[in-house]
Structure 1
C-alpha cells in the first residue's frame, strides 16, 4: 500500500468504552487516588477517566473541579492564549447533517476568498490586535494542500507597522502525507482535525455514504499521517451532542493516548465544541450536553491530559466560557466572526446563511481582554515556542518539568504589553497595566525580571516589538 494513502488504525474500542461507562461507581477513596495521580501531572488511562466521568455525587464533583483548577494553575498559571478563526471558503462536497456548509443546504451562500479578500480580513484582525489565527476550510477539491499553503503565505505576508500575524493554525480536511508536507513547509503551527464523533454507527449516520467524510478510518488516521509528515503540533476534537458525551470524552482521551504511544507526544490541543444551530438544520438531537455536564467534561479532560491545551470556542455563551476558564481551558478565540468575509462585511447580527453554525459569544476582542484582566487572567498572544522549535516532543520536554510558567509568563507579559500599547481602549489599558506590574513583582528570577522590565519599556517607548524568551 502507498504510505501516502494509508488509512487510520482503529484504536476506538467501543466495547471497552461501554463496559467502562457501565461499571459501578467506586469508593470515594479510589476517586481521590485518581485525582492525586493527575495532580502529580500524570496522564490518566481510560479506566481512570471513565471513573471521573461517572461521578455524580455533588461533593466529589466539586473535588474534581477543585483539583482541575489547582492542576491548571500548576501547569499554566493564569495564562490564557487568544486567537481568532478566519474562514477561507465554505464550498463543500460533504453533507454532514449538523453543518450549515453541507452540500445539500441550498440556503448557504457559497464563497471562497481570493488573495486580496484574505488580505482585507487579515488586516481587519490585525488592526484590533490579533497575532494568532486558525484558518478554516470546507472540504472541496479546490482546497488542496497547495491552496492551503498559498493562503497561509498570504496571511503571513499581510502586515504593516505593528500589525502582523505570527502564527497560523489550520482546520481542514485530512490530507495524505505529501499534502501535509506541503502545508507544513508554509510555516503552519497546529493542524487540527475534528473526528466529530468517535462512535462508529453515529459517524456513519451523520456523514452520508459516498461523501469524502464518510470514511471513518481515513479521518481517524489523519493526524497520524500529519505527524509522520513532520507536523508535530496537531489538534483533536469532537462535536458534543451527536452521541453520549462521556463516550466522546473517552474517544478524545483514547486518541491522545494513541498519538502519545505512536509518536511520543500527544495532541497539542483538544477541542470540545457543543452542537449549535446551523442554517436550514433540524436541531432535534438526542444527546445535547447540559451546562453542568459540559463543566464536568472540561474538568475531567484537564485532569486526564495535564499538558494538552484545552480550547473553548465562541460557540459557547460568554458566561459558560468564563466559568470553564477556571478549571481547565487554556485557549479561547475572541472577537470572532465566522461568516465568509465577516470581519469586514458583517454587523452585530449573525448571518446564518453565510456561517457554519451559530456563535454564542461575538463580543469584540477588547471587551474579552478586559474581562480576562479583571478576572485576574494573563491574556497571551505568544508564539515563541512555535518559532523557537519548542513544538511536539520538544514542547513536552519543556512543559513536563514545569517550564511553561518560566517561559510563558514573561512572553505573555510582553505580548500583552504590545496589545495594551498598540490596540487597547483606555479602560482596558488601565486594568492591563496594573496586572502587568503585579505579575512582574511576582517573578522570583531576578535576571528574568530585569530583562523583562527592559523589554516592556522598549515596547512602551519605541517601535521595538516581538520579544520572546
Structure 2
C-alpha cells in the first residue's frame, strides 16, 4: 500500500508505552498540564495521557473547570444544532455492534427514493433545521455513489415555505480520491467517518466481512479526502469496543498525522458510546463499557487537547448527560433525531420514545424534539446556532483554523449564531420558547465587545425586518 492507503502513522506500541508511562496519577504533572492547556495551544499525546489517568474526584474537577473555561473562551455560549437524515439502511459489512450489519434479520431495511428524501427534508425544514447530516449504511442501491450524490442534490433542492437546507454534511463509507472529488463538487460541509476502533486486533474481531474489514482503507480515508480538496473532515470512535484511553490517544495520533501532512487536523470529533441495537448482542454488552464519569473526563480532555475542534454529541446520550457534557466541551448536538430511513415521516409524535427501534441504527437516549432542546438550551443561557456562514464564506480547513487559533473566528460565529437563532424564534418557536430565547439573546449581547455587538445588532435588525439567511 502507498501512503494514501496505509495507516503508517498509527503506532500501537508507542501508544501503549505512553499509557503505561503516564498511567500513575501525578498531581504536579496534572497541574502543569492544565496550565499549558489554558494557553489554548493544545496538548501532546503524553499530556492527554496524564489527564486521562486521573481518578481522584477533586483532581478530575480541576480538569472539568479548566475545560469549561477553555470552551467558554473559544465558543462562548453558542451550541450548534443539526439533525441526521438516514437515507438507507442497506449495508455490505458485517459489524457485530451495528443493527445495519449485512446478515441481521432483526432490522427492517429501507433505501429512500428521491421523493421520500425530499419529504424527510421538508419535515425537518418545518421544524426549523438548517443543517443536516446525511447518514447511510455502507451500501447504496443501483448506481452506488451516484445515489449518494443525487441524495445531496435532492436535499439542497427541497423547499418548504421558502426555507431550504443551507449545509449538508455527510457520514459515508470510504471513497477513492476521484469519488471524493465528485462529492466535493456537491458543496458538502464536513465529510465524517468513524474509525470505530483504532486497535487492530479488536477491529478484526468485530468486522467480520465486507469492505469495512480493511482497517487501512478506512483509516486513510481522510488523506484521500484532503487530496481531493475536502478540507473539513470529522473523526469519530465507537467507545465500548476497546480501552477508551488507548482509543483516545490513537485518535489524537490521527489528528497529528493530518496536521503534519496537510497543515490542518479534523474539524469535528464525535464521541458516541455503544447503545443497544436491534439484533446485536454486542451492543447490549459492550466489551469495554465506558461509564458516565469516565466519559465526561474524556470530553473534557479532548476539549483541552484540541481546543479549536468541534466536539459532537448525538442523541445516543440522555438529556442530563448531554447537558453536563455541554459544560465541559461539547459544541455541537443533534436534536429531534430519528435514526432510521424514513423515520421523520413515520413518527406520529416527534417526542416519542424509540418507536422505530426495529428499523433504527441504535436506541436513542434523548428523544426530545427540536423545540424542547432549543428551549432548554436557552433557559441554561446558551445560544442555539443554526449557522452555516463559515462553509459558505469559504472559511474551512486551514482557513478556519487560521482564524480560530488567534480567537478571531468567534467574532464571526457569535453574530451568526444570534441571527440564525432569531430566525428560528420568529419563524418556528412557540411564544413561550420565543420569550426564553429573546432573553438569552439579550443576555448574550450584554457581554459582548462593542464591535461584535454592533455586528450582532446589525444582523439581528435585518432578521427582525424580515430578511433571512444573513451572516458575516
How big is the shift at 1:141? 4.9
2:433 is aligned with 1:428: yes
1:289-328 to structure 2, matched below 5 A, reads 289-328=290-329
Query: Do the aligned partners of 2:87 and 2:134 also contact (CA within 8 Å) in 1?
Result: yes
Aligned match of 1:342: 343
Superposed displacement of residue 43, structure 1: 2.0
Pairing partner for 1:465 from 459, 464, 468: 468
1:420-439 per-residue CA deviation (whole Å, 9 max, x = no partner) reads: 00001111100111111222
**Cα shift readout 1:303-338 (whole Å, capped 9, x = no counterpart):** 110110000110001111011000110000001011
TM-score (norm 2): 0.96
**Structure-to-structure mapping, 1:32-47, within 5 angstroms:** 32-47=31-46
SS across alignment from 1:235: strand
Partner of 1:387: 392
The Cα shift of 1:2 comes to 8.7
Displacement of 1:453 in angstroms is 2.3
C-alpha separation in 2, matches of 1:199 and 1:366: 39
**Equivalent residue, structure 2, for 1:185:** 185
| Residue matched to 1:9 | 7
Counterpart of 2:228 in structure 1 is 229
In the alignment, the residues of structure 2 paired with residue 452 and residue 285 of structure 1 have an alpha-carbon distance, to the nearest angstrom, of 46
CA distance in 1, matches of 2:454, 2:190: 32
Question: Does the aligned pair in 2 maintain the 1:8–1:219 contact within 8 Å?
Answer: no
Equivalences for 1:14-93 in 2 at 5 Å? 14-23=12-21, 24-25=23-24, 27-93=26-92
SS at 1:104's partner residue?
coil
Number of residue pairs aligned between Structure 1 and Structure 2? 464
Alignment of 1:110-189 (within 5 A): 110-142=109-141, 144-189=144-189
> Contact conserved, 2:6 with 2:217, CA < 8 A, in 1?
yes
Paired with 1:423 and 1:171, the residues of 2 have a C-alpha distance of 27
Question: How much has 1:57 moved relative to structure 2?
Answer: 1.7
- The whole-number CA distance in structure 2 between the counterparts of 1:8 and 1:382 is 36
Provide the C-alpha distance between the structure 2 equivalents of 1:232 and 1:451, rounded to a whole number of angstroms. Answer: 28
Structure 1 unpaired stretches of 5+: none
Is 2:414 the partner of 1:409? yes
Secondary structure (helix, strand or coil) at the match of 1:467 reads coil
- Is 1:285 the counterpart of 2:286 in the alignment? yes
Q: Which residue of 2 aligns with 1:206?
A: 206
**2 and 54 in structure 1: CA distance in 2 versus 1, 3 angstrom threshold:** closer
Are residues 357 and 159 of structure 1, via their aligned partners in 2, closer, same or farther at CA, if it must alter by over 3 Å? same
Note the C-alpha offset of 1:468: 0.7
Unaligned runs of 5+ in 2: none
CA distance in 1, matches of 2:56, 2:454: 49
Shift of 1:417: 0.3
Q: CA deviation at 1:177?
A: 0.3
The alpha-carbon deviation at position 458 of structure 1 amounts to: 2.9
Match in the other structure for 1:253: 252
Provide Cα deviations, 1:441-464, integer angstroms capped at 9, x if missing partner.
Answer: 332224x434432432332232x1
Q: Deviations over 1:198-241 (max 9, x none)?
A: 00000000001x41100000000011100110000000000000
Equivalent pair of 1:8/1:224 in contact (CA under 8 Å): no
- Which string of whole-angstrom CA distances, capped at 9 and with x for unpartnered residues, describes residues 32-77 of structure 1? 1111111111121111111111111222111110000000011111
Q: Aligned equivalents of 1:107 and 1:59: distance in 2?
A: 45
Residues 145 and 182, structure 1, Cα contact 8 Å, conserved in 2: no
SS at match of 1:456: helix
- Runs (4+) of structure 1 exceeding 6 A deviation are none
TM-score computed with the length of structure 1 as normaliser = 0.96
What secondary structure does 1:326 align onto? Answer: helix
